[in-house]
């Protein structure tokens, strides 16, 4: 499993996302192995399907169920998440946990 926390230079909420990621991995008893990537330039934004910071992916798949609808990728801007009818500035721990469980349930 390859986990990536992808961010840009301008949005500093990524630190909160990293804390949520670390806590979720610890609570799930998983290794705290993840990579932080700083997107610089439109080519990287396209490569990572990045449309705002912060973004967490598992094996290249964005953990946000709404991300599948994204078509315009860019290096700038912060991103918002909606989870269980609440808005967040970062992916909440529950969203991260559901993504990790889904990854394991698919037998990867």
CATH code, 14: 3.40.30
Give me the DSSP letters along 49-102: T--SB-EEEETTEES-GGGGG-----S--B--EEETTEEESS--HHHHHHHHHH
- Domain limits for position 82: 3-105
How many domains, in total, are found in the chain?
A: 1
pLDDT digits (tens, 9 = 90+) for 74-97: 899 899 999 999 999 999 999 999
Under the banding of pLDDT at 50, 70 and 90, the label for residue 103 is confident
Report angle CA 12, 9, 21 to the nearest 5 degrees: 50
């Amino acid at each position: 499993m390859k986990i990536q926390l992808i961010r840009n230079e301008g949005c500093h909420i990524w630190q909160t996302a990293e804390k949520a990621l670390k806590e979720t991995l610890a609570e799930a008893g998983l290794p705290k192995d993840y990579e932080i990537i700083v997107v610089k330039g439109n080519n990287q934004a396209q490569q990572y399907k990045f449309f705002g910071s912060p973004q967490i992916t598992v094996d290249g798949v964005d953990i946000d169920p709404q991300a599948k609808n994204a078509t315009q990728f860019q290096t700038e801007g912060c991103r918002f998440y909606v989870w269980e009818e609440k808005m967040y500035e970062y992916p909440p721990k529950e969203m991260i946990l559901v993504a990790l469980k889904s990854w394991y349930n698919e037998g990867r």
